[in-house]
């Protein structure tokens, strides 16, 4: 990924081809599907952790804080996913053989 950011492919042709194929396969999933999986995972994780905290006697305040900060963390995770997809697209573009 570091070489792709600089606009250069890997000097080893086998590694370059492997990087291209990996990136191409990775980008076959639509961005909305990938974000949907991330959001679903965050919701399930938040529900499980909140239920565990609420089960504790003193966990109500912690669960409330967790729910309060969860949207910001979810937004951060979505932005990170979009950033990584852009980097993967750079790997595909730089290592393309056609």
- Could you tell me where the DSSP H helices lie in the chain? 2-5, 13-26, 31-55, 59-95
When pLDDT is cut at 50, 70 and 90, the band that residue 89 belongs to is very high
Summarize pLDDT for 28-57 with one digit per residue, the tens: 989 999 899 888 988 888 888 877 777 776
Under DSSP, the state recorded for 58 is T
């Amino acid at each position: 990924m570091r070489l792709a950011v600089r606009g250069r492919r890997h000097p080893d042709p086998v590694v370059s081809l492997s990087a291209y194929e990996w990136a191409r396969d990775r980008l076959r999933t639509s961005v909305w599907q990938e974000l949907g999986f991330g959001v679903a995972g965050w919701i399930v994780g938040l529900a499980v952790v909140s239920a565990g905290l609420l089960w504790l006697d003193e966990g109500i305040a912690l669960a409330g804080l967790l729910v309060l900060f969860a949207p910001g963390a979810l937004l951060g995770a979505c932005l990170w996913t979009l950033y990584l997809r852009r980097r993967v697209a750079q790997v595909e573009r730089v290592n393309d053989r056609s």
